[in-house]
Chain A
Amino acid sequence: MDSLLKLDGVSKEYKSAYGRVRALCESSLEIERGEILGLVGESGSGKSSMANIIVRLISPDKGKIVFNGVEISSLSARAFRKFRREIQMVFQDPYSSINPKKSIGYLLKECLKIHEKGMSDEEMERKVSESLDEVGLDSSYAKRYPASLSGGQRQRVAIALALIIRPKLIVLDEPVSALDVSVEAQILNLLLDLRKKHGLTYLFISHDLNVVSYIADRIAVMYLGSIVELGKTEDILGAMAHPYTKALFAASSDISATLSGEIPSPMNPPSGCPFHTRCIYAKDRCRVEKPSLSLLSSGHFVSCHYPLRGGEKNENSCGI
């Protein structure tokens, strides 16, 4: 296994007026070179905190982050700068993630000015139209402003902004959630094409399990700041081992209520297994002892004292 990014025991707490909010709790995760890792979970599960920690928009309280063999979590801001171009991010809402007052060309050039110091103007112009072309927009878009673009076109621009400095890893935080179905398919196709062309690695965060089942090579399921299940997409869909994963996928495939209650507050997380308050299989041990992420079968990890086994093979009926 050739890992590009490794998170090792990463924790993060936010302080709020009402107390401490535990966003990530000793989470470990490896992203392999060239893969698409899908990260799923309900809101408040810590998906975005993890994304923000990876691109260093926030720093973790504890834990190590290793990128391409270098520990980047301990680097100074200046030393980190050269890694920033290798790890880029695309956000959910292309209406708020792109500066509305600058032309698309200006924004793309700005990336080059920062990360490719000394590049000539002609070279920059060429790069700008090249990267617009890559995301399916013609070079006339360089002169346009975000306001004149549709949601799908804006998301293409956001991808071009991430791509123009040739990163190795792109963190996609709900990249298609704000888009219409017909546009969503276009963007997913584009992301797959670009990965092939440039050998990119994606961390693909989404709450839409259909999208993740379609695009991801591996899936990581998060619950209340911890990864509860991780494995190849086929393995997870074929034999979900964590009761939460099973409930989550069942809820999405036939829209039936499979979980009672809501995700507990991260300000007051439950003792033991974080899922025990909603788990129909919970036993006494689950209320006191927190399970750790352990190997179930080749490449398939689960953090549950009593993982679901074979017999209950899940018939996957995602989609319509």
Chain B
Amino acid sequence: MSLLSLRDFTLSFNEGGRLLNAVKNIFLDIEESEMVALIGESGCGKSATALSLMGLSNDDAEYTGHIFFEGKDLAVFDEREWRSIRGERISMIFQEPMTALNPLLRVGPQIMEMLLVHQRIDKKNAKKMVLQMLKSVNLADEERIYKSYPHQLSGGQRQRIMIAMALINNPSLLIADEPTTALDVTIQAEIIDLIKRMNEQKGTAVLLISHNLSLVKGLTKRAYIMYSGSIVESGRTEDILSFPIHPYTRGLIASIPNVKNRGKRLYSIAGTVPSLEERSNCGCPFAPRCTIRSDRCFSNFPKQKDIQGHSYSCFFSPDEIEERMNG
């Protein structure tokens, strides 16, 4: 059985009597110790998915479907039950470590709080564990770091603190929501290395949420591509990046600028990601921007098809998509 398994999961917000689906009928699985990527542009529902896995959605959010985690269905949990999961079994690190840390407290005690809340442990031993944790996330000089305030640390150091905080209770799942977007490329590489190492050493499964395709390459085995609240393609990361099927994924990959397409016009997907209010409730979510759409794309949601573990949701076959997009 998978560690985490979203089954026909829908997250909606009630806005003035209208039910808006932020995430719609998604299926997503993460095995023990697996690293999985969830890729999409802003507003596609990837962070909303992450927050529901932490029980942190807005009060007016409504769930349908199931969030099976370690054998329990989190979708029916109340706040008290969530507290035994959040920070203990599932942890999260965020994009901007500065806003995720309390600026008025030294970072050591902030990490220690995680232990005191979730474990029966005295302060002395807790501090010992924190210092050890700081060392294992490569923050040398841990005594000084322990006593530092967030503003005294660099962006990379702060993200390490976040990782230390997230992993100190040995959760089985770490959600990393754009963990390196705010960091420089050189620091990004170090943080990714650290997440990878923690995954190998502690066996923590990782859900890496990102818009950056080159980041997930080489790091995750499997990936899900999300567009406008739906999963449009999933499979082995390598397959998706090398042989994308869905017109959206194909467009996304083709529009990445790099030295190989110098001097050529970049492929660009026309239009913009629709906002939550603009989303239509029926049909393929990508149809309004798709170059190969047909009438049925607007009336029905295409069923997911599977080719040797590579799944996609489009009415056309891979050959038809290829032909229509190039023709």
Is there an interface contact between A259 and B256, defined as CB atoms closer than 8 Å? no
Asked whether B154 is an interface residue with its Cβ less than 8 Å from the other chain, the reply is yes
Is there an interface contact between B184 and A207, defined as CB atoms closer than 8 Å? yes
How far apart are the CA atoms of A215 and B266 in the complex, in Å? 10
Instruction: List, in ascending order, chain B residues with CB within 8 A of A316's CB.
Output: 259
How far apart are the CA atoms of A150 and B275 in the complex, in Å? 9
Binds B, one of A85-93, A246-254, A266-274, A294-302: A246-254
How far apart are the CA atoms of A150 and B269 in the complex, in Å? 15
How far apart are the CA atoms of A316 and B258 in the complex, in Å? 10
Instruction: List, in ascending order, chain A residues with CB within 8 A of B41's CB.
Output: 180-183
How far apart are the CA atoms of A258 and B186 in the complex, in Å? 7
B184, B217, B253 pick with most chain A CB within 10 angstroms: B184
Binding site of A, secondary structure by majority: helix, strand, loop or mixed?
helix
Least Cβ distance of A291 to chain B in Å?
Answer: 21
Instruction: List, in ascending order, chain A residues with CB within 8 A of B192's CB.
Output: 255, 257
Asked whether A11 is an interface residue with its Cβ less than 8 Å from the other chain, the reply is no
Least Cβ distance of A172 to chain B in Å?
Answer: 14
Asked whether B261 is an interface residue with its Cβ less than 8 Å from the other chain, the reply is yes
How far apart are the CA atoms of A136 and B257 in the complex, in Å? 20
* Given A213-B262, A320-B217, A181 contacting B189 (CB threshold 8 A): no
Asked whether B281 is an interface residue with its Cβ less than 8 Å from the other chain, the reply is no
Residue of B nearest to A319 (CB): B258
Is there an interface contact between B252 and A233, defined as CB atoms closer than 8 Å? no
Name A22-52 residues within 8 Å CB distance of B.
Answer: 42-43
Asked whether A256 is an interface residue with its Cβ less than 8 Å from the other chain, the reply is yes
Task: Tell which of A182, A253, A319 touches B268, judged by Cβ atoms closer than 8 Å.
Answer: A182
How far apart are the CA atoms of A262 and B249 in the complex, in Å? 35
Is there an interface contact between A257 and B42, defined as CB atoms closer than 8 Å? no
Is there an interface contact between B272 and A248, defined as CB atoms closer than 8 Å? no
Asked whether A209 is an interface residue with its Cβ less than 8 Å from the other chain, the reply is yes
Least Cβ distance of A152 to chain B in Å?
Answer: 6
Is there an interface contact between A207 and B218, defined as CB atoms closer than 8 Å? no
Is there an interface contact between B257 and A192, defined as CB atoms closer than 8 Å? no
Instruction: List, in ascending order, chain B residues with CB within 8 A of A182's CB.
Output: 41, 251-252, 255, 268-269, 272-273
Instruction: List, in ascending order, chain B residues with CB within 8 A of A215's CB.
Output: 257
Instruction: List, in ascending order, chain A residues with CB within 8 A of B253's CB.
Output: 320
Is there an interface contact between A180 and B258, defined as CB atoms closer than 8 Å? no
How far apart are the CA atoms of A42 and B155 in the complex, in Å? 12
Task: Tell which of B154, B213, B259, B268 touches A186, judged by Cβ atoms closer than 8 Å.
Answer: B268
| A170-203 vs B, Cβ < 8 Å mask (1 yes, 0 no) | 0000000000111111101100100000000000
Asked whether B156 is an interface residue with its Cβ less than 8 Å from the other chain, the reply is yes
* Given A153-B272, A183-B272, A262 contacting B187 (CB threshold 8 A): yes
Least Cβ distance of A145 to chain B in Å?
Answer: 16
Asked whether A293 is an interface residue with its Cβ less than 8 Å from the other chain, the reply is no
Residue of A nearest to B260 (CB): A319
Least Cβ distance of A191 to chain B in Å?
Answer: 11
Is there an interface contact between A189 and B265, defined as CB atoms closer than 8 Å? yes
Instruction: List, in ascending order, chain A residues with CB within 8 A of B219's CB.
Output: 255
Least Cβ distance of B249 to chain A in Å?
Answer: 11
How far apart are the CA atoms of A175 and B47 in the complex, in Å? 24
Instruction: List, in ascending order, chain A residues with CB within 8 A of B261's CB.
Output: 214
> 19 pairs across A/B with beta carbons < 8 Å?
A181-B213, A182-B269, A184-B257, A210-B256, A213-B259, A214-B261, A214-B262, A255-B214, A255-B217, A255-B219, A256-B189, A259-B189, A262-B186, A262-B187, A316-B259, A319-B260, A320-B214, A320-B217, A320-B258
- Beyond A210-B259, A319-B214, 9 additional contacts (C-beta under 8 Å) are A42-B185, A180-B42, A181-B41, A182-B273, A214-B266, A233-B262, A248-B186, A255-B217, A320-B253
> Would you list the 9 A-B pairs with minimal beta carbon distance, nearest first?
A319-B258, A214-B257, A185-B255, A185-B268, A180-B41, A213-B259, A185-B266, A42-B184, A182-B269
